[in-house]
Amino acid sequence: MSEIITRLLRRRWLLPVATIVAVLAIVLVVGGALLLPRALAAPAQPLPFQHNKHVAAGVQCIFCHPGVQTSAVAGLPSLNKCMGCHASVLPKDPKDQADANKLIKQWESGQPIRWVRVFEQPDFVHFNHRPHIAAGVACESCHGDIARMGYAQSYNLNMGFCLNCHRKQAPEKVTKLISCETCHY
């Protein structure tokens, strides 16, 4: 009997440690559940821009983001680009006129739109849209279903995401595509 009590006394540290571990686990789960939606939420933009409405109107991604065909960066539309359409096109839904009026007010101010980037890679990643577009990779493959998004939202673009796709390419291309130097140079 005394041997059992001795064993229990030696392990009395176990209950406080288990309690601390359990509390930390609960804090991490609850904290993650509360913070993750904020981390993935679209950043506030200077003007309302509903991707889904523009896609429904037939606007192609490359119209507003022409850099995908010629450079590393897709680019963001200028005020001139926006007003090229909105100077003569009225929104289909009259409720959207207030948003168009904000655009017109920005145009009249003579100040450029300072869009906030939604998709941004770390400095140690060198991504280029051009080879992806040339290979026929659809924008939705990496950016999600923009046609269903109002405001562009962050998508899970990380090294694992990219490597998963690169490994699915033609066998003769895989070695180069999964080489570190392909994206980190």
Per-residue pLDDT of the chain (185 residues; tens, 9 = 90+): 567 666 655 666 666 766 776 778 777 777 666 655 545 566 788 888 888 989 998 999 999 999 888 887 888 888 999 999 888 888 888 888 888 899 999 999 999 988 888 877 888 998 888 889 889 999 989 888 888 888 777 777 889 999 999 999 999 999 999 999 999 97
Check the CA dihedral 100-102-106-107 and report its sign.
Answer: positive
Alpha helix ranges (H) inside 41-113: 51-56, 61-64, 67-70, 79-86, 97-109
Residue position matching structure tokens 């923009």: 146
- 65 vs 49: CA distance, rounded Å: 14
The reported pTM is: 0.67
The candidate with the shortest Cα–Cα distance to 142, out of 153, 150, 134, 151, is 153
> What's the chain's average pLDDT?
83
pLDDT at residue 8 in the model: 56
- Number of neighbours of residue 63 by Cβ within 10 angstroms: 13
Whole-Å CA distances, 60 to 4, 66, 108, 159 = 75, 10, 26, 27
Question: What pLDDT is recorded for position 116?
Answer: 85
Residues 69, 116, 92: CA angle, nearest 5 degrees: 75
Among 107, 62, 60, which Cα is nearest to 82's? Answer: 107
3-state helix, strand, coil in the chain (%, to 5): 60, 0, 40
